[in-house]
């Protein structure tokens, strides 16, 4: 057999019907993750056609996007403040009950951001196909799964058939070699990759992150990298599973057990790109060159090493429009720019290691006067772990607002928003205009840089505080 | 779904590149549980003042944009979030096609499933369209060609199955369900291995 990439292998193993010039492949879906925002219309379609959810055992639902993060609203002592969000939450509860889907609902101890809880439960496993009505489904590719976001019509297709019609994307090798310098993390790495290939550089491709740097990352760091594959326009991002992956999954509630575990690991070990396999495109990144990164514009590709000055292109309308929105000018330094809000959380950087990184800087320090620091754990489990480890106490002592889990200020659907014109230093994934609230100005950074900036009250280099 | 064979209409131009789906419809409107009526929220933050009144200088608020059928946009249109609310909003507003040099993957798929035609053209054609807002264009889906009022005709790529579904008003779910026998056999073979 011809040499194959990791992506080729996972794709081939899920082709129910191969593609032809006239028809796309029928691709089987092992795991379908569902949440309250992109499913209501799909359930309505099922209802109107008299269809069931065909494989509820391969479907998992939670609520995360529009849910409150304030404890009294989550646990029901006061109503959810945003009415439309409350309706959407209730509708998912009704739909899950009607269609027999397992739901980690509002007060469930396993609830959290969909892309955080599936790995943490061991539902996400190497070699799977995983879809969700959410573009950050690419996160699960960190396990060697083929995972991608779909629209609501396709959510309905998967509910009804457990399969999707898909054309096979092309493959793109992102080779990263060397050691990340001190104070530089997975978020800086992925921002730097997006800066290099551009926000549409990955369109039509599945990325495979490869090389010694990738192998040296923890699972949580790998998830941060794969999470933002979509910000380069890619359909998905993948990494070959290895001992780090297996150790992460061992003993997780829904990971295979006993003999089934041994068989699974043996199968998972085959999920590597063959030595002489060819990619359709590639890029080489030297990890040693990467610095803490910060975005300066209105898409994640407008990104710089933190010590740099904003470029000053002439006659570039995209750049000029972004500068007007951000209130910045070409030639200005990023360091020292003012900060109003700092958000630490999201499916990109809301995991325990991210909170530990923030705590390294916040321990024994205070948030600068006038700065609001919101820290939102990615799941209720992470919240409990952070509290048990004393991180929550460090955050509160520093003056941070420590919340229940959810997507929160990443997209501001639940009322956690940044005010118009305010600068938000955020560990989330998108700095689009208005992403965190109408008129909000977002700068994407790592948890270390976010925490350092909260303490200084200005955009700060974390290497000075660690 | 209604079959689509040909779209003849007038363009409106939003020249920005990398227009993401958060601009097409901001997240705060995603708490809806239906698909209808999203057109009034299309490009909400570019289109309305804080008090809800229209921003006079935004193209969709100008008289010449009224009744336009086709949106011409800068490269990489529809990037970002997978929200299908983006094509729902564009269609509810009245758009039937989007033309750009590059259209993001998930948005393109979502558009095709709703009968909003994504038309990817070469740089030269795109530049002409960007410089001639309000022009009449003719999009023939059957031959996959776009014709400008100058008489210039260019072909555009479209996935053959999606084209077949649009031309014949076929719903993809019906086709997928016709493969349920194959899906069951696949599941049985997976369980056995």
Q: At what angle do helices A219-227 and A114-121 cross, to 10 degrees?
A: 150
Q: How far apart are CA A129 and CA A146, in angstroms?
A: 5
With a CB cutoff of 8 Å and minimum separation 6, the contacts of A457 are A338, A339, A368, A369, A370, A371
**Rounded distance between C-alpha atoms, residue B95 and residue A250, angstroms:** 51
CA distance A25 to chain B (A): 10
Structure token digits, residue B166: 């649009």
ipTM score over 0.90, yes or no: yes
A326-338 per-position pLDDT tens digit: 999 999 999 999 9
Partners of A207 on chain B (C-beta within 8 Å) are none
> Cβ contacts of residue B117 below 8 Å, gap of 6+?
B4, B7, B96, B97, B98, B111, B139, B141, B166
Cα–Cα distance, B170 to A351 (Å, whole number): 44
Length of chain B: 193
Output the CA–CA distances (angstroms, integers) from residue A277 to A126, A217, B49, in the order listed: 20, 23, 54
Q: What distance in Å separates the CA atoms of residue A155 and residue B82, rounded to the nearest whole number? A: 11
Residue in B32, B81, B102 closest to A200 by CB? B102
Output the CA angle A127-A24-A164, nearest 5 degrees: 50
Domain that holds residue B133: 6-192
Shortest Cα distance, chain A CAs vs residue B149, angstroms: 27
Q: What is the CATH number of the domain that holds B24?
A: 3.20.19.10
How far is the alpha carbon of B164 from chain A, nearest alpha carbon, in Å? Answer: 9
Q: Say whether residue A165 is in contact with chain B using an 8 A CB cutoff.
A: yes
Query: Is position B1 within any domain?
Result: no
pLDDT over 70, % of chain A = 100
Residue A148, H or E segment: strand A146-149
For residue B101, is it within any domain?
A: yes
CB–CB contact A317 B177 (8 Å): no
Q: Where are the domains of chain A?
A: 6-166, 170-241+248-257+266-288, 302-464
* Average pLDDT of the segment spanning A161-185: 98
A154 contacts B113? CB cut-off 8 A: yes
Least confident of A79-83, A165-169, A285-289, A432-436: A79-83
In a domain? residue B31: yes
User: Any chain B CB within 8 A of the CB of A40?
Assistant: yes
A112 conformational bin, left if phi > 0, alpha if psi -120 to 50, beta if neither = left
Q: A373-426 pLDDT, tens per residue?
A: 999 999 999 999 999 999 999 999 999 999 999 999 999 999 999 999 999 999
Burial of A233 (C-beta count, 10 Å sphere; 0-12/13-18/19+): buried
Strand ranges for A262-383 from DSSP E: 281-286, 293-295, 303-305, 341-344, 372-375
Of the candidates A23, A45, A161, which has its C-beta nearest B177's C-beta? A161
Nearest CA in chain A to B165: A23
* pLDDT above 80: residue A1: no
Q: A209-252, pLDDT tens digit by residue?
A: 999 999 999 999 999 999 999 999 999 999 999 999 999 999 99
CATH code that applies to domain A302-464: 3.30.499.10
- Test B82 with A153 for CB contact under 8 angstroms: no
Pick B23's closest partner by Cβ from A26, A91, A433.
Answer: A433
CA distance A232 to chain B (A): 9
Nearest to A165 among B74, B114, B172 (CB): B172
Helix (H) or strand (E) holding A401: strand A401-402
Nearest Cα of chain B lies from the Cα of A63 at a distance, in angstroms, of 12
- Calculate the average pLDDT of chain A: 97
Q: Which of A26, A233, A432 sits opposite B176 (nearest CB)?
A: A26
- Which of A87, A301, A434 has the CB atom closest to B26's CB atom? A434
Q: Which of these ranges, A77-91, A219-233, B102-116, has the smallest mean pLDDT?
A: A77-91
How many angstroms away from the CA of B122 is the closest CA of chain A? Answer: 16
Report how many domains make up chain B.
Answer: 1
- Least Cα separation, residue A327 to chain B (angstroms): 17
pLDDT-derived band of residue B179, with 50, 70 and 90 as boundaries? very high
Per-residue confidence (pLDDT) for residue A115, from 0 to 100: 98
Q: For testing the chain B interface, which of A135, A348, A436 should be mutated: the one with the most B CBs within 10 Å?
A: A135
Which among A165, A321, A412 is the nearest to B28, CB-wise?
A412
The pLDDT value given to residue A76? 81
**Burial of A111 by CB count in 10 Å (0-12 exposed, 13-18 middle, 19+ buried)?**
buried
Chain A residues with CB-CB distance to B26 below 8 A: 434, 438
A235: contact with B, CB 8 A cutoff: yes
User: How many residues are given for chain A?
Assistant: 466
Phi-psi region of A413 (alpha: psi -120 to 50; beta: other; left: phi over 0): alpha
Q: What is the mean pLDDT of residues A447-455?
A: 98
> Which chain B residues are within 8 Å of A435, Cβ to Cβ?
22, 27
Q: Are the CB atoms for B39 and B20 separated by under 8 Å?
A: no
What phi, psi does A33 have (nearest 5°)? -100, 135
Check CB contact of A299 with chain B, cutoff 8 Å.
Answer: yes
3-state secondary structure (DSSP) of residue A281: strand
The structure's pTM equals 0.98
pLDDT bin (cut points 50, 70, 90) of residue B192 is confident
The reply to whether B57 touches chain A by the CB within 8 Å rule is: no
Percent of chain A with pLDDT over 90: 97
Q: Please tell me the distance from the alpha carbon of residue A270 to that of residue A103, in angstroms, as a whole number.
A: 33
Kindly list the residues from chain B whose CB atom is less than 8 angstroms away from the CB atom of residue A413.
27-28, 30-31
Has residue B14 been placed in a domain?
yes
- Decide if B77 is inside a domain: yes
Using CA of residue B73, residue B74, residue B75, residue B80, what is the dihedral sign?
negative
Quick one: pLDDT band at residue A317, thresholds 50, 70, 90? confident
Q: Which CATH architecture has domain A6-166?
A: 2-Layer Sandwich (3.30)
- Whether residue B173 is contained in a domain is answered as yes
Mean pLDDT of A127-133: 98
Distances (CA, A) of A190 to A197, A201, A350, A442, B83: 11, 13, 16, 17, 23
Which ranges of A317-443 does DSSP label H, i.e. alpha helix? 317-326, 346-349, 352-362, 380-388, 391-398
Question: For the domain bounded by A170-241+248-257+266-288, which CATH number is listed?
Answer: 3.40.1060.10
Nearest C-alpha in A relative to B108: A151
Do the chains contact at B31 and A150, CB–CB below 8 Å?
no
pLDDT in tens, B54-65: 999 999 999 999
């Amino acid at each position: 057999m011809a040499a194959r990439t990791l992506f080729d292998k996972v794709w081939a193993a899920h082709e129910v019907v191969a593609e032809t010039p006239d028809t796309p492949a029928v691709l089987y879906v092992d795991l379908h993750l569902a949440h309250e925002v992109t499913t209501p219309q799909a359930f309505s379609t099922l209802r109107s056609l008299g269809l069931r959810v065909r494989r509820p055992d391969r479907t998992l639902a939670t609520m995360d996007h529009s849910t409150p993060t304030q404890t009294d609203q989550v646990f029901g002592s006061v109503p959810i403040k945003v009415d439309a969000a409350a309706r959407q939450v209730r509708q998912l509860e009704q739909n899950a009950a009607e269609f027999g889907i397992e739901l980690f609902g509002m007060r469930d101890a396993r609830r959290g951001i969909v892309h955080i809880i599936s790995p943490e439960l061991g539902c996400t496993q190497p070699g799977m196909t995983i879809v969700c009505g959410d573009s950050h489904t690419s996160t699960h590719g960190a396990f060697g799964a083929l995972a991608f976001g779909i629209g609501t019509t396709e959510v309905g297709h998967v509910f009804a058939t457990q399969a999707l019609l898909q054309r096979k994307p092309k493959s793109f090798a992102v080779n990263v070699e060397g050691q990340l310098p001190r104070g530089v993390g997975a978020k800086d790495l992925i921002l730097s990759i997006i800066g290099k290939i551009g926000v549409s550089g990955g369109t039509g491709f599945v990325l495979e992150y490869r090389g010694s740097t990738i192998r040296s990352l923890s699972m949580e760091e790998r998830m941060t990298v794969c999470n933002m594959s979509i910000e380069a326009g890619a359909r998905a991002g993948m990494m070959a599973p290895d001992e780090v992956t297996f150790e992460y999954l061992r003993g997780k509630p829904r990971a295979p057990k006993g003999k089934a575990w041994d068989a699974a690991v043996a199968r998972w070990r085959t999920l590597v790109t063959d030595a002489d396999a060819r990619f359709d495109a590639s890029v080489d990144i030297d990890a040693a060159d990467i610095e803490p990164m910060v975005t300066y514009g209105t898409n994640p590709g407008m990104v710089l090493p933190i010590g740099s000055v904003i470029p000053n292109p002439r006659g570039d309308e995209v750049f000029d429009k972004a500068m007007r929105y951000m209130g910045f000018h070409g030639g200005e330094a990023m360091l020292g720019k003012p900060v109003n809000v700092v958000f630490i959380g999201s499916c990109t950087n809301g995991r325990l290691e991210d909170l530990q990184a923030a705590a390294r800087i916040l321990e024994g320090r205070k948030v600068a006067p006038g700065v609001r620091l919101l820290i939102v754990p990615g799941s209720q489990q992470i919240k409990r772990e952070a509290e048990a480890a004393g991180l929550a106490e460090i955050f509160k002592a520093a003056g941070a607002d420590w919340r229940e889990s959810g997507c929160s200020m990443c997209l501001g659907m639940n009322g956690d928003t940044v005010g118009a014109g305010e600068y938000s230093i955020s560990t989330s994934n998108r700095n689009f205009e208005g992403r965190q609230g109408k008129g909000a100005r977002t700068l994407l950074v790592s948890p270390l840089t976010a925490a350092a900036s909260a303490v200084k009250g200005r955009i700060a280099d974390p290497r000075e505080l660690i | 779904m209604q079959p689509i064979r040909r779209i003849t209409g007038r363009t409106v131009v939003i020249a920005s590149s990398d227009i993401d789906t958060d601009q097409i419809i901001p997240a705060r409107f995603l708490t809806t549980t239906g698909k209808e009526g999203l057109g009034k929220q299309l490009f909400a933050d570019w289109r309305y003042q804080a008090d809800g009144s229209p921003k006079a200088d935004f193209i969709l608020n100008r008289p010449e944009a009224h009744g336009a059928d086709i949106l011409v946009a800068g490269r990489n249109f529809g990037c970002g979030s997978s929200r299908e609310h983006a094509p729902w909003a564009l269609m509810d507003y009245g758009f039937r096609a989007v033309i750009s040099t590059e259209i993001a993957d998930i948005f393109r798929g979502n558009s095709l499933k709703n009968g909003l035609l994504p038309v990817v053209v070469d740089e030269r054609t795109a530049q002409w369209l960007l410089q001639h807002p309000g022009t009449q264009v003719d999009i023939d889906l059957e031959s996959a060609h776009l014709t400008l009022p100058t008489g210039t005709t260019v072909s555009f790529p479209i996935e053959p199955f999606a084209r077949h579904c649009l031309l014949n008003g076929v719903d993809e779910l019906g086709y997928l369900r016709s493969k349920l026998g194959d899906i069951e056999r696949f599941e049985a073979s997976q369980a056995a291995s």
